[in-house]
Structures are given as structure tokens and as C-alpha cells.
A and B are shown apart, each in its own frame.
Chain A
């Protein structure tokens, strides 16, 4: 990819297939290679994530979307035999800085997973979990955080009377919104969503998409999705990955209406993938 050799500078317009010219990025990814053992999953990825926008990662399954998104909160550290080269900065600071506390990074960069994974605890305890971990223990503070987070996740009205019920009793869509509330409770800057709707029915999906729109103003969101409709509905920027490479990255409208690369066009028109 020739895009990898470009230097990041503020550019007024889209200069190349993979450089939308973002100023003040939250994350900057430079020359990222990732190997699982001997298999390389990411090849020289180079991208900037815009602040307070929704960035969608699309691509056929197995192309490395999850791998890439899990780099932002260093969740790949937990995988054995993983080797990461290149540089990712968060607000200008390398995230593998030995002085940087992973726990603090993960507090600022929350994550919502493909399959909802509430803790086998009460709804209240699920949301209060993060704040407790980060040292908040006063009941009044926790109550306020829980209410605020559930309201932000548009779940408060459904759960306010059953906060002490087990979270596993909620429906799939509610569980996923609970996971979003849980991520919001620690007051993050960025929220990573890895195919958050792939296990949900259309109505729940619509609610989560609405929620993403509401959160956009306050948080930076990165969402992995296999649905191009979803990407075009919710995102401001879209990145297309293929076989571990960033093929095209630009404002969503441009990418879908006027793709610069042949592969992108083939993918979004459904000719493969």
C-alpha cells in the first residue's frame, strides 16, 4: 500500500484512498503489524481516528477488524503469542508507553463486545462494577453514576424498578445496552464496539444504533460492523479492511458513493465478501 508511506499532516481534503485528512485525532495508528504466532493478522495499518465522531470498520470476516479494534485498548495483550509492531498513540501518547497504566487506558477506552457479556450479578452491580474498580465506593456516588449511565444507555426506564435483579434475566438487546451503560459508567473518552448488534433482532439493533447517534456528541466511537447499511447509517468515517490491510478510509458518504479503490467498490456492491 502506498498509503503507508504518507506522513500525517493536516490536509484539507481527501488526498488518497486511506487518508481522509483528519486533524486532532484521538488515536493515530502508524505502521501497525500484528502477528498471532507465525500468522500475520494486520499489515502496516496506518490511520487516524477522528474525535467525537463515529468511525466504522468494515470488511469481510477474518480481515482483522476485531484484531485492529482490540489494539486500541490493548486487549490483544491478553492473547498468548501475539506480537505487535508499530505505533499507536492515544491523545498523542504511545499506548505501549511503559509508564502508562493499562488499567487507566482501558478506563478511558471502553469496549462493548459482539456477544453481550454482563457479569452474573445484579443490574446495579454490573454498572457499578467499573467505578468500584476505580476506587469509588460511596453508595450515593455509585447510585448517581448508575442512574446517569443507565439513562445515557437508554435503559433507565426499563430497569429502574429492578436494579437488584440479575442482569442475565434481561433480553439480548437490553443486555447489550447494559454493557454500553457499564462502559459509560467509568466515564471513558472512547468506546469501542465490536459488532455490537450482530446478535440482536432488528428492533434492538435500531435502538442500539439510535443510542450510538446520541453518544456521538460526547464520546469518540469506533464500531466494527459487517453490515454496510449499519456503517452508512451510523458512521461519519468508514474504513475498509481486507486481508489485514487498510484498503480505503474516508468519510462514509464518499466511501460508499464514490469509492477510490476497486476492492472497496466490489465489496460494497456485494460482489464478494
Chain B
């Protein structure tokens, strides 16, 4: 009794330590996820905005971002509070962000007429509307009617934009194609006879005229498209004329009701998910990055799962267990510990330069020296990550194979099945849950990997998706964007890091959710497989 008492008291600190470690782990994970979720979701929330007037004469519109106590010279937090505002208006002489001491502020107010405006360049504006103009002619000046008038005008602009695109795609592009064909015919004709045949000359004249006319039409429309401006004014009274066609949208943050706010929040999130990035990734959406990440992980899975399964089957079922298999296992395990950038360098050297170079010289020699496959692309990135995650899959599948009882294999062999048939029809189906476990681990690993991709085809901006409507539909040689790299790029490489911080959180949240979704799909598949092959000891 006394002894067990003693051992218990000796064991207790150990147990406490374990509990504490577990608690810390859970706390860290929950804390991190909460922080990322809150910050990521808040990034799109349309906050109220203020007019701030200071003793030193400064006056600005801003969205309150931060409040923090100022430390005095003695290090104590008694010297007052400092506020940080996001002021936007970078092209109106603003700094984007402003710090101001609370005791410097004369008055803070929330004027209802303040407007928040998104543009295709220069970031958002936070201003008062003054007037709607066409050239020097004033269309609308009444502050109350301005937003409605602007709204209507934006609709017209949208229609005009669509019309312009249609003109370019449906009329200008085919004409250009025909002009190019004509040029080729001219070159051919010039080779056989010195003088150009008259019908070609006539055709060229006709087409040239057509082309010029079309260009002129487009130009006129463009001028009209860009003819209206909106006169805006900041708190200090600086004014600026903003071309209407560059305005993407606007709202009055202080006039929004809760529901409108929610709606705007959802709309902004949707834009983030579905739109192309703007202004070197600091504005707009991340759709190409989502697409690139998913496609890359998908291609990687297609490669790594069969490869891993075949390797594991060979190691476990066919190879004689001996020095060779032990060596292979050691190598596989060491691969798992290799820094991922090493895989990137290998991918660059082997896949891109050797394989890609070969493919180029064999099939794309007319395009050289511009490389097609001989440069980074989503295919090479997927293969590189497949190598990186191969050990994970092999180890998981090997464990699954080992868990298939010997008795079950003997049952199959005793019915006259060969070893291959036994593996294919009994052992592999029974190992399906393990195979899917390996897949889940590989996906998790691959989706979070950035470093090796930087050298094999991941880029900051790749507006052309690797899958599109033109044959062969999957353009595996194209470069791609990636959420992980996007986080790095937006968070550390953009000129205004403060302004993009919410985007970084949002992108991180998105990446986490994406990995979670991919995993949920795989886990559900695995559970289905488990139910089907229940009772085999997994």
C-alpha cells in the first residue's frame, strides 16, 4: 500500500507534465485557428469611418484600426493612447495609414455622406462626392442625388465595357487573323512572282480599310467610355477627378444597416474567392491561386498514390526481405527528412531541365529558344511534390499491407489465386483505408509546401489558368499561382504591408479551409472504405 502510494506520488508530476503539454498544444492550435479565422473574416467587414480633426491642423477621413497605449520615458503606460487609422487616398497625398495621439484630437465624427470607393488602380478612396462631370460639363452636383446618378452611370459603364470586349473578341480578333493569313499569302506570292497579284492588293486595301474603321470605332467608344469623371474631395479639401470607368464599386460605410453590412461582407468575400488579383496582388481576389493550389495537389495525388502503392507492394509483397529492402526503406525514410527545397532543386534540375528540355527539343523545337516544358510549370511542380510526399504514402500503405492477415491471403491462394490476383483482389482492397490515409497525409503535406515550388513553376501572377476551354484543356506546362506563395508575396513583398495584412489573414484562412476540405473528402472516402472492409483489423 505504502509502496503504491509512493509510486503514485512519483508518477503524478510526470502525468501533470503530460497534461500540461497537451493543454499547451491544444491552446496553441485553438488560439492560432481562432486568430486566423477572426482576422481573416474581419478583413472583409465594412467598418464605419470617421472624420478626425486634430489640434495640429490635420484633418482626415479614416477607418479606426488599432488603439494602443503610449509608453512614457519611464517605460510606464501612462502617456496616453495612440490611434491608428486607415486613411486610403494614396493618390490624394495620403499615407494609407496614420497614427494620431488621442490628446491631439479635437473632434471625431461620423459624417453620413462619406463614401468608400474601390478602383482598378491606386487602392480605395475614402472621400466626399462633389460632382459628376463629362469633360467640363457638370452632370450632377446635388450631394443627395450623386450616389444614385453614379450608380446608374456605373451600370452604363459596365455595359460599355462588355460591348468593347465583344467588339474586340468578335470583330477585331477575327479580322487580325484574316490579316495574318493574307500576309502569309502575300509572302508566298512574293516568292513565286516579283509583283503582287492585283486581287491580293485589292483585298489588302479592303481589309486595311475595314481594320482602320474598326479601330476608329473602338477608339471612339473608348474615349466615350472614359469621358465621365467624378470629382471627389478629402477631409483636407484636396480634390481629384476620378475617371468613372475605373470605379469598381462604392458604398457609404456610415449609412449601412446591419443587413446591408452583412451583404456587403458576403459580396466582398465572394469577390475575394472568385476574382483575379489586382494591383500586384494587393487587391481583388485570389481565384487563380486557389485554382493553382487545388490543381497542383490534384495532379500530385494522381501521381503519388499509384507510385506509392506500387512501391509499397513491391517492398512488402514481392521483394525478398533483406539488405536491399532494408536499404530502400532507410532511403525512403531519409527522403521524408530531406529539406523540401532540396526537392525543389532536384525538380528544377531533373524535371525542368532534363525532362522538360528533352520534351522541348523533341516536340516543341519550332518554339525554341522559348521553352515550353523546359521551364517551370504546374506539371513539374506536381511531380516534385509527388517525390516529396512519396515516403509518406509508402510508409502508410506498407503498414496497411502488413495489417492484412496472413490467413486471408492464404484463403485466396488456397482457392487457386496467384500471388498477383491475391494482392489485386484481396490485399489491396483491404488496404484501401490505409492507402487513403497515406493520401490524406500527402495532401496535407503538399498543400502547405511552398519552398520547393518557388523554383519549379510557381509565380506571383499567372492570370492564364492551366485549365481552359482551348484544346488540350489541361495546359500542364503553364506556370501557376499558389495560396502559400500568395501569403508570402502579399504579406512581405507588397509596398504597403499594413494595408495587406487583412488579406494575408484571409488567404491563410482560405488555405487552411482548403486543406481541411481536401482532407474531409479523403476522410469520408476512407470511412466509407472502412465500413466496407470492416473487421480486417484497421
Using a CB–CB cutoff of 8 Å, the interface residues on chain A facing chain B are: 73, 75, 78, 102-107, 110-111, 113, 115, 117-121, 129-130, 132-134, 166, 168-169, 179, 182-183, 186
A123: shortest Cβ distance to chain B, in Å?
Answer: 13
CB contact list, B293-335 vs A, under 8 A: none
Q: Is the CB of A117 within 8 A of B415?
A: no
Question: Chain B, 518-532, contact with A by CB distance < 8 Å: what is the 0/1 string?
Answer: 000000000000001
Q: Is the CB of B407 within 8 A of A115?
A: yes
Give the CA-CA distance A102 to B418 in the complex, in Å. Answer: 9
Q: Is the CB of A119 within 8 A of B412?
A: yes
CB closest residue in chain A, given B536: A120
CB closest residue in chain B, given A167: B535
Q: Pick the contact of A134 from B416, B430, B532, B534 — CB < 8 Å?
A: B416
Question: Chain B, 394-423, contact with A by CB distance < 8 Å: what is the 0/1 string?
Answer: 000000000001011011111111100100
Could you list 14 examples of A-B contacts with CB < 8 Å? A110-B414, A113-B410, A117-B411, A119-B408, A120-B430, A120-B532, A121-B426, A129-B412, A132-B425, A133-B421, A166-B533, A168-B534, A169-B535, A186-B416
Give the CA-CA distance A113 to B425 in the complex, in Å. Answer: 20
Q: Is the CB of B416 within 8 A of A113?
A: no
Give the CA-CA distance A12 to B297 in the complex, in Å. Answer: 77
User: Is B429 engaged at the interface, CB distance under 8 Å to the other chain?
Assistant: yes
CB closest residue in chain B, given A111: B414
Q: Pick the contact of A120 from B414, B421, B429 — CB < 8 Å?
A: B429
Give the CA-CA distance A168 to B533 in the complex, in Å. Answer: 8
Q: Is the CB of B416 within 8 A of A107?
A: yes
Q: Is the CB of B410 within 8 A of A106?
A: no
The verdict on A110 contacting B410 (CB below 8 Å), with A117-B405, A120-B430, A166-B535 known, is no
CB-CB under 8 A from A132, the residues of chain B are 425
Using a CB–CB cutoff of 8 Å, the interface residues on chain B facing chain A are: 405, 407-408, 410-418, 421, 425-426, 429-430, 532-536
Q: Is the CB of A103 within 8 A of B533?
A: no
Interface of A is mostly: helix
Q: Most chain-A Cβ atoms within 10 A of its Cβ — which of B408, B411, B416?
A: B416
CB-CB under 8 A from A73, the residues of chain B are 414
| Number of residue pairs A-B, CB distance < 8 angstroms | 81
Q: Is the CB of A106 within 8 A of B414?
A: yes
The 4 closest A-B pairs by CB, nearest first: A168-B535, A117-B407, A120-B533, A106-B416
Give the CA-CA distance A111 to B417 in the complex, in Å. Answer: 13
Give the CA-CA distance A132 to B417 in the complex, in Å. Answer: 10
CB-CB under 8 A from A129, the residues of chain B are 412, 415, 417, 425-426
CB-CB under 8 A from B413, the residues of chain A are 75, 78, 106
CB-CB under 8 A from B425, the residues of chain A are 129, 132-133
Q: A75-B413, A120-B534 are in contact. List 10 more A-B contacts (CB 8 A).
A: A113-B410, A115-B407, A117-B407, A119-B412, A121-B429, A130-B415, A166-B535, A182-B411, A182-B415, A186-B416
Give the CA-CA distance A50 to B480 in the complex, in Å. Answer: 74
Q: Is the CB of B415 within 8 A of A75?
A: no
Give the CA-CA distance A121 to B408 in the complex, in Å. Answer: 11
Give the CA-CA distance A168 to B417 in the complex, in Å. Answer: 21
A120: shortest Cβ distance to chain B, in Å?
Answer: 4
The verdict on A119 contacting B426 (CB below 8 Å), with A78-B410, A166-B532, A168-B534 known, is yes
Q: Most chain-B Cβ atoms within 10 A of its Cβ — which of A103, A104, A134, A169?
A: A103
A180: shortest Cβ distance to chain B, in Å?
Answer: 12
CB-CB under 8 A from B532, the residues of chain A are 120, 166
B402: shortest Cβ distance to chain A, in Å?
Answer: 15
The verdict on A75 contacting B418 (CB below 8 Å), with A120-B534, A121-B429 known, is no
Give the CA-CA distance A132 to B405 in the complex, in Å. Answer: 22
A190: shortest Cβ distance to chain B, in Å?
Answer: 12
CB-CB under 8 A from B411, the residues of chain A are 113, 117-119, 179, 182
A214: shortest Cβ distance to chain B, in Å?
Answer: 21
B319: shortest Cβ distance to chain A, in Å?
Answer: 13
A112: shortest Cβ distance to chain B, in Å?
Answer: 9
Q: Is the CB of B410 within 8 A of A130?
A: no
Q: Is the CB of B405 within 8 A of A107?
A: no
The verdict on A168 contacting B536 (CB below 8 Å), with A75-B410, A117-B407 known, is yes
CB-CB under 8 A from B426, the residues of chain A are 119-121, 129
